[in-house]
Structures are given as structure tokens and as C-alpha cells.
Amino acid sequence: MSEVRIRPRQVLVLIIVFLVVLMMVHRNGKRTCQGPDYLQAIYAQQQADTLPTIYAITPTYYRPAQKAELTRLSHLFMLLPHLHWIIVEDSNTTTPLVKNLLQRAGLEKRSTQLNIKTPPEFKLQGKDPNWIKPRGVEQRNLALSWLRSHVDVDRHSIVFFMDDDNSYSTELFAEISKIQRGRVGVWPVGLVGGLMVEKPILNEDGTQVTGFNAAWRPERPFPIDMAAFAISMDLFIRNPQAIFSYEVQRGYQESEILRHLTTRDQLQPLANACRDVLVWHTRTEKTKLTAEVALQKQNKHSDAGMEV
Ligand code: UDP
Ligand code: MN
């Protein structure tokens, strides 16, 4: 049998071809996770299975702009693999609108669709402005009870109350991932409480919260917005009494939940020692549909057969 002889030059060519193929594969791999360093770090930690899951709880209700708001949020989830979305609809059933949205964003496996209707007596608003009934109470509590019976308590995870109309940076979720077991992370929120920014005030080395700059009801135990904090899940397991309540005054929901879970000096400051704004308390303008109403009087709809 004749010997197959490989010359050193052929070996060299083979090695070069192998290296080129390796570089191409590597570059293709990289293409799927381009972006800023904090996102790269999230993807690397996700690969290593060292990222805590963030359970984002979103109460939502039907109005003309609902799908637009939820579509905005869904893009965050598409970029951030460690988020699990608990959407709780304020309705008697879950809706195809939310189901379709989750499906089209490819989030079926990383989301939970729940529903609970706010009882009508709690929807009455506007008589005494100090007692306007809080929104999303029933929905957030249902999500908490779902979490208490579904999460793996041995794995560190984090809970964030994520209203559907605010504006969130992906960077916020990199910060939330830093929350330690047993702690509540806090950071500034833009455009809220009559200020450009509401923020915790820190000690000199930026490690402890010593106060808050709130102008609206600064006497609250925790004068911060719902978007200003996230909570290590183990605190909810250890404190089963921690739920939202209808019995508290307007603006006291945040204090109501936090008082069961932490103290001011235990808060974990995030977002560059509370110097960065990564979330804004935006509110979408009420939709004007005068022409649509006119159409409806003729029994017509601009959106006939369409989901808007
Ligand atoms: N929400 C709800 N049912 C309602 C009103 C509001 O589920 O009847 C939800 C809403 O979609 C949002 C959260 O509760 O995710 C807070 O409501 P909103 O943004 O109107 O409150 P605000 O901005 O005034 O704090
Ligand atoms: Mn809002």
C-alpha cells in the first residue's frame, strides 16, 4: 500500500485554513451580542449561568395605547435574557392582545400571563384627591402570590415593579442584577414628584442612603416612586405579610411594601452611586379619537379586523 505523505507546507496550509474558519465562527458568534460593555457582560454571565433572574411585574389594563406601551417594553425583554415578565391584566380574562404580543416577541417561555380585575369600588376616583384609590394593587399582589409559590427559593432572584407606561433603559437591568440577597436596590427616577429627578441622598463614600430629595410628601417612610427600587426575592419569602394595600393613602404604596422588607440604612444604592438616571416616570397622553367616535356612529371602525 502506498503511503500518504503530507509535506510540511500542506500542514501549514491546513493550519491556516483552520484558523481562518475559527476566526469566522468567532466573529459570527460575536455578532449576536454586539453592544455596550454592560450588555456583553450580561450575555457572558448568562452563558455562565451566574445571573439572577429579574421578575418584572407589570399591571396593565386596556386602553387604546396599551399595545404601543407593551410593545415598547417587550423590546427590553428581547434584549435582556435574564428577565421574566409577569404581565397581570386588569380584566376578567387574559386577552389575545397580550398573548399575541408575547408570542410575536418570542417571550412565551420567559413570561407569565395572569389576570385579576380591580373591584369597581376601588376604581372610584377623584372625590377626595388624597384618597384616589391606588392603581395596580390587586395585580401586583397576584403576581407576588404567584412568585411565592413558583420561584426556586434556592436561586437568587429579584423582583421589580415595572409599570407599563414608564421609560426604562436596558442599563437599569444591569444595575438591578447587582442587588444582593436580602437587600433592596435603589436609584434615581426622572420626571416624577414634581421634580426633574427624585433620588436617594448618600453618605460621602456613596455606600449608604442617608435621605431622599423628594419634594412631594417627603415625610413618607420611603419617599420614592415604584420605579425607584427592586427587591431580592428572598425578602418576600421571609416576609409573607409583605403585600400592597388599598388601605393606605395616595403615594404610600411604596412605603407600605418596603416597610415589611427593609430599613433605610439597609438599602443598596445603584446607578453610579445614584448619579445616573436610567428610568423615567413618563405618562402617555390620553388618546384623542374624535373621528373614530364619529365613524362608530355610522357603525364603522378604522380598525375593523385589525389589532391596534
Ligand atoms: N393600571 C391598571 N389598572 C388601572 C389603572 C392602571 O392595571 O385601572 C396599571 C397601569 O397599566 C400601570 C400601573 O397600573 O402599569 C400604574 O398605573 P398608572 O401608570 O396609570 O399610574 P401612575 O403613572 O399615575 O402612577
Ligand atoms: Mn404611569
CATH code of the domain in which 93 resides: 3.90.550.10
Closest-CA residue, ligand 1 atom 12, reads 163
The stretches in the chain having pLDDT less than 70 are: 1-3, 25-33, 122-132
Do the domain assignments include residue 129? Answer: yes
State which of 57, 61, 95 you would mutate to test the pocket of ligand 1, scoring each by most atoms of that ligand within 8 A of its C-beta: 61
- Is 60 annotated to bind a ligand? Reply is yes
Q: What is the pLDDT of residue 31?
A: 46
Specify the pTM. 0.89
Do the domain assignments include residue 53? Answer: yes
Do the domain assignments include residue 185? Answer: yes
Instruction: Indicate the residue type of 203.
Output: N
pLDDT digits (tens, 9 = 90+) for 22-62: 887 666 555 455 789 999 999 999 999 999 999 999 999 99
Residue 59 CA to ligand 1 centre (angstroms): 7
- As a whole number of angstroms, the distance between CA 219 and CA 274 comes to 21
Do the domain assignments include residue 127? Answer: yes
Do the domain assignments include residue 75? Answer: yes
What atom in ligand 1 is closest to the CA of residue 162?
Answer: 15
Instruction: Please name the residues in contact with 96: beta carbons below 8 A apart, sequence gap of 6 or more.
Output: 307
Q: What is the pLDDT of residue 124?
A: 53
**Number of domains making up the chain:** 1
DSSP characters over 25-40: HHHHHHHTT-S-HHHH
Do the domain assignments include residue 191? Answer: yes
User: In the numeric block, which cell numbers belong to residue 223?
Assistant: 419617599
Do the domain assignments include residue 19? Answer: no
Tell me the residue range of the domain where 164 lies: 41-290
Distance (Å) of CA 10 to CA 17, 18, 19, 96: 11, 12, 14, 61
> Which residues have CB under 6 Å of ligand 1?
58-61, 90, 118, 135-136, 139, 163-165, 283
Q: β-strands 279-280, 167-168: how paired?
A: antiparallel
Do the domain assignments include residue 207? Answer: yes
